[in-house]
């Protein structure tokens, strides 16, 4: 039995979890997907050709086997070499 002095009070407490400041919803997912796409594109452009060993070179240099360094040779054109005037 409960006397008049002791009164039992019961209360219902409802705790709503805090959102943690994340009111944006899916904005983090969108940023994550964009970053993942950028990393994937950079992988295919730079890492994959380096792993395969194939690189695109824009300049091709052809070096001849022999170079004529004779200083007494005649010029081969009308405008090249020494002038007769």
What pLDDT, in 10s, does the model give residues 48-73? 877 887 666 667 788 888 888 888 87
| pLDDT tens sequence across 20-35 | 665 666 788 899 999 9
CB atoms near residue 74 (< 10 Å): 7
Residues in the chain: 85
What is the rounded distance in angstroms from the CA atom of residue 30 to the CA atom of residue 41?
17
Calculate ∠ Cα 68-72-76, nearest 5°.
70
Calculate ∠ Cα 14-8-10, nearest 5°.
10
């Amino acid at each position: 039995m409960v006397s008049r002095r002791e009164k039992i009070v019961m209360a219902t407490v409802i705790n709503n979890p805090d959102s943690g400041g994340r009111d944006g919803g899916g904005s983090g997912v969108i940023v994550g997907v964009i970053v993942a796409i950028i990393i994937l594109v950079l992988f295919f452009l730079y890492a994959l050709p380096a792993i395969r060993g194939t690189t695109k070179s824009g300049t091709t240099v052809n070096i001849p086997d022999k170079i004529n360094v004779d200083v007494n040779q005649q010029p081969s054109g009308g405008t090249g070499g020494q002038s007769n005037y």
